[in-house]
Structure 1
Amino acid sequence: MWMAGVLSHGVLLSGSNSSTTDYINLTDTGGHNESTSALLRSTAFKVCVLCVLIPIPVFAILGNLLIVASVGRFRNIQMPTNSFIVSLAMADLLVAVLVMPFSLVRSVDTWWFGRNFCVAHFLLDMTLCTSSIFNLSCVALDRYVAVCDPLHYPTRMSPRRVTMLLLLSWLLPLLISSLCVSLSMYYLTPPTGYRGTQQESPTCVAQIHTPYAVADSTVCFFIPVVFMLFAYGRIFMVAQRQARWIHAMENHSGQLHMDQNPTREDPARPDPARPDPARSDPARRVQARLGGFSIRKENKAARTLGLIMGVFLMCWLPYFSINIAFPLWGDRISPIVLEASMWLGYANSSLNPFIYAFFNKDFRHAFVAILGCEILGRQIRGCLVSTQEISRQVHTVVTLETISK
């Protein structure tokens, strides 16, 4: 992250109206810091921290690689609506490969990669994490248009506009982080002990100036959060209303059909001499499919939306809140809290593949085809190809399944 780098040796503290920094050395032997210092420097503690943190980049790499491989292998997944999922997977994959390993070394031990790479790591961290959040916002925008304005979805989310959104989700974070570095809106100096002694171990500590930290957190997190809450709230309301409307229309149509055929003995049994219009008319096939949704689907949609926003807020809200509060009340914030908030944000890159892809039936089938046995893989590949035509027919129809895709 681009907040102060928290090391096992110490944490940078910065006042809001000062251009100088103080460094509290956790390895100092004075006061009650002696037992805390011994714990932080112990091998057992470092091993426990490694066991907790290593799964985060591992799952992020594996999960996001599966998404990229699935899109590259199965043509029916290669659609504009999944472009944002692929872009999100690429951002999270780069965070796991280029940022997390060095942050892990810094968190468990200290910084061994020099000052120049420290600046590069700071720039990569800020750019890629922000790009991941912006791609999440693009996913929400795509779902919002698909559900709330399905008839105009092909024009509103045309390939050209999708490409522009993808470029913005990468170029805007790069611009924000580049401005921070080029305008020197951060501190990156060898800190000193609180008694004026130079810190012995090499460090990589970056603290953004308070005004820039507030502006950065607002643009990179709080504005996307407000939009995502609005978009997913509207998605659920519209989808729920649509499902109830379809259910009411089906009931009304069935009752009207019974009133017009009072002499028929069994209106629920089709006439074998007459072709079924639901089978011959694609529009009625779609209507018949939509009529099958119930309250169970609404509850599933609510759980899916709640999980999407719940995980996102759980991972990023602590970090960005501390990012604003740290320059003002840094001396009251525990280094362990800072470290936990940083890795919670990284954990979002590991959870995104499970939330945005594993809840999608097509991606689940693709994952099984890639990881499963060959026989099962052939069956699922056939299922993926056979559902491509159905996906085209219902592309512009609002259903509760749109929420979880």
Structure 2
Amino acid sequence: MSPLLLPQQRNKLKSEDVATVAGGASLGPGINMESYPEGSASRPNLTNCTAPPSSSLQVVQITEEMAVLVVVLSLLTLLTALINAAVIIAICTTKKLHLPANYLICSLAVTDFLVALLVMPISILYITMKTWSLGQVVCDLWLSVDMTCCTCSILHLCVIALDRYWAITKAIEYARKRSARRAAFMVGMVWVISVFISIPPLFWRQRSSSGSFQQCIIEHRHLGYTIYSTLGAFYIPMTIILILYYRIYNAAKTLYQKRGSSRHLSSRSIGSQNSVDHCRVSHTFCVSELSNSDPTLATDKLNTTIRIPSFETDMDGQDEKNQICTSRERKAARILGLILGAFIICWLPFFLKEVLVGLQMVQPSPLISDFLTWLGYINSLINPLLYTSFNDDFKLAFKKLLKRKEHA
């Protein structure tokens, strides 16, 4: 309990306190402002005196913009996870979709789901905080998982294109080799290549000894690795995909031309050979849209569904079939265009930026870097839509899943 003070003493103490606070030297007689330990409960609260009203309004405005950005990115992440999870569940629970081509699509969905689960949420946190606060170990793990999963997603598109190319150019032969074991081997090779591309930076990333680790970004100090990683993760797969889809469409056009010329031939053997070619194209672009998960190919049931028509087939019916297949060929071409267009638009800007930064030709702002990175992430949302939405079997499987949820 403090002793009582006389009125003269109290007035003297008050005048001294007011003078020292106004001068900024101390908060009481003999007490310096620096003597208060930081974070101490006894430290006076001078918050109301430190910031002008205009700066507080600016902070509120920036917070609102950041909140909108976080909501948008969170919705993209949630949609990516849900759609890829729906593809995985549909393939696993629908026997009609248990085909080798669908196993590749399922593996692609798993990879894109991992991007939504392990990569995108941490990126949102990093963008929101504007500084890295999870430590260097988590940073190394996050960058490695990011590079591995994104590279693996791109390589899956390359493997799917290769599978389609073999299915049209070596229809009967490849139909016998197209098995779940072969699909598993292709998926395993994709993951091995992805790991070998993403692991090297772990060996030369600098460890911070001071403990102040505020940035978590891909380093571009090694030009050789930048070229190696961008070639392996994007430029070589993109070249392969473009070549394969070009050859797929070109082979289909050639076979259609052979089919059209068979009308004017009278030889039964030549007509039968062209009929076989016609069936191959039909199963590539027409039947696939009805009975196979692959929007451009359907050769899994080739041996059981091909029926070679006789040369005396009714020409009116044949013309009608030709028109149907021609329209479906155009539809398949549009699907190929969507697949290639989405892939290139999403990933080409990011990898161009990586090469230019590695060559020290540009130094983009964090805003541009984040935008290009998320443009690539969005490809994980587009992939399941493009590879499943054009197929009736997947549509039926999705409808069954929705009905189950409604009943549940």
Same structural fold, with TM-score higher than 0.5 when normalized by the shorter chain: yes
For residues 49-87 of structure 1, the C-alpha deviation after alignment (integer angstroms, 9 at most, x for no partner) is 223322221121111111111111111101111111011
Asked if residue 368 in structure 1 is aligned to residue 399 in structure 2, the reply is yes
Which of 187, 194, 202 aligns to 2:214? It is: 202
d(CA) in 1 for partners of 2:150, 2:261: 45
Which of 85, 88, 91 aligns to 2:108? It is: 88
How far 1:372 moved relative to its partner?
4.2
d(CA) in 2 for partners of 1:374, 1:61: 17
How far 1:316 moved relative to its partner?
0.6
How far 1:200 moved relative to its partner?
7.8
* Matching of residues 2-401 of structure 1 within 5 Å: 42-109=62-129, 110-181=131-202, 183-184=203-204, 186=205, 202-208=214-220, 209-249=222-262, 251-252=263-264, 283-284=307-308, 291=322, 293-329=324-360, 332-372=363-403
How far 1:157 moved relative to its partner?
3.3
- Conserved 8 A contact 1:148-1:234: no
d(CA) in 2 for partners of 1:369, 1:206: 43
d(CA) in 1 for partners of 2:309, 2:397: 26
SS of aligned partner of 2:216: coil
For residues 291-316 of structure 1, the C-alpha deviation after alignment (integer angstroms, 9 at most, x for no partner) is 46343222212211111100000111
RMSD: 3.3
How far 1:162 moved relative to its partner?
2.2
SS of aligned partner of 1:207: coil
d(CA) in 1 for partners of 2:402, 2:173: 37
How far 1:360 moved relative to its partner?
2.2
> Which segment drifts farther, 50-59 or 162-171?
50-59
> Which segment drifts farther, 351-360 or 364-373?
364-373
Counterpart code for 1:80: P
SS of aligned partner of 2:324: coil
How far 1:178 moved relative to its partner?
2.0
Q: Which has more radius of gyration? A: 2
d(CA) in 2 for partners of 1:148, 1:124: 36
How far 1:333 moved relative to its partner?
2.1
> Which segment drifts farther, 225-234 or 353-362?
353-362
- Conserved 8 A contact 1:145-1:153: yes
How far 1:174 moved relative to its partner?
1.5
d(CA) in 1 for partners of 2:163, 2:59: 48
SS of aligned partner of 1:309: helix
How far 1:231 moved relative to its partner?
0.6
Q: Give the aligned partner of residue 34 of structure 2.
A: none
d(CA) in 2 for partners of 1:221, 1:114: 29
- Conserved 8 A contact 1:137-1:228: yes
> Which segment drifts farther, 345-354 or 52-61?
52-61
How far 1:361 moved relative to its partner?
2.2
- Could you say if the C-alpha distance between residues 146 and 108 of structure 1 is closer, same or farther in structure 2, counting changes exceeding 3 Å? same
User: Structure with the greater relative contact order (CA < 8 A, sep ≥ 6): 1 or 2?
Assistant: 1
Instruction: Name segments (4+ residues, structure 1) moved above 4 Å.
Output: 38-41, 186-190, 198-201, 251-254, 284-292, 372-375
Percent identity among equivalent residues? 30
> Which segment drifts farther, 66-75 or 110-119?
110-119
Counterpart code for 2:248: I
- Could you say if the C-alpha distance between residues 374 and 164 of structure 1 is closer, same or farther in structure 2, counting changes exceeding 3 Å? closer
How far 1:163 moved relative to its partner?
2.1
d(CA) in 1 for partners of 2:144, 2:321: 48
How far 1:112 moved relative to its partner?
2.8
Q: Which runs of 5+ in 1 are unaligned?
A: 1-34, 191-197, 257-280, 378-405
- Conserved 8 A contact 2:162-2:244: yes
Query: TM-score, normalised to structure 1's length?
Result: 0.68
- Could you say if the C-alpha distance between residues 333 and 202 of structure 1 is closer, same or farther in structure 2, counting changes exceeding 3 Å? closer
> Which segment drifts farther, 129-138 or 154-163?
154-163
Q: Give the aligned partner of residue 42 of structure 2.
A: none
How far 1:44 moved relative to its partner?
2.0
Q: Give the aligned partner of residue 276 of structure 2.
A: none
Query: TM-score, normalised to structure 2's length?
Result: 0.67
How far 1:244 moved relative to its partner?
3.9
